[in-house]
Amino acid sequence: MSGNGKDMRTPLGRVAGLGSAHSGTGHFWWQRLTAVANVPLTIAFVVILVSLFGRNQAAAQQILGTPVVAIIMLLFIASITYHMRLGMQVVIEDYVHGEIIRPLLIMANTFFTIAVGLAAGYGILKLSFGV
């Protein structure tokens, strides 16, 4: 216990520095990790997108359907949507003060990012497998 006798945490709890939600540090690191991952993935996405300019639909489908390009695009979609979810969650937690609306908005944020990710992933997989 601390010197004033009011701190009921264990020494490990005091050293770990976890807040009341016990997830702030993990959230922070996931946001930074996805930000770093987004740099090369965004560069690759832009290169792929630029390579599609001036091509017809069949050529674009052929390029997007190659396994390496499909994997890069799927990684880009996964990383960018997860990063988007984390960032919007922070904005909601910081600026929405209603006790009822905040969890609803966080759930809507999660459902929206899942829907966007699944729709984009479905499009890439459909092109990749030629279905």
Cα distance between residue 13 and residue 77, in whole Å? 36
The chain-wide mean pLDDT, for the chain, equals: 89
What integer pLDDT is reported at residue 1 of this predicted model? Answer: 46
- Over pLDDT 70: what percentage of the chain? 85
What integer pLDDT is reported at residue 16 of this predicted model? Answer: 61
The fold of the 23-129 domain, in CATH, is: 3 helical TM bundles of succinate and fumarate reductases (1.20.1300)
For residue 13, pLDDT beyond 90: no
What integer pLDDT is reported at residue 81 of this predicted model? Answer: 98
Q: Specify whether the CB–CB gap between 106 and 90 falls below 8 A.
A: no
Domain definitions of the chain by residue range: 23-129
Predicted confidence (pLDDT) per residue in 28-84, tens digit: 999 999 999 999 999 999 999 999 999 999 999 999 999 999 999 999 999 999 999
For residue 27, pLDDT beyond 50: yes
**Whole-structure pTM value:** 0.79
Cα distance between residue 85 and residue 124, in whole Å? 21
Helix (H) or strand (E) holding 74: helix 67-95
Q: Specify whether the CB–CB gap between 55 and 63 falls below 8 A.
A: yes
Q: Specify whether the CB–CB gap between 80 and 74 falls below 8 A.
A: no
Q: Specify whether the CB–CB gap between 66 and 25 falls below 8 A.
A: no
Place of tokens 């017809």: 56
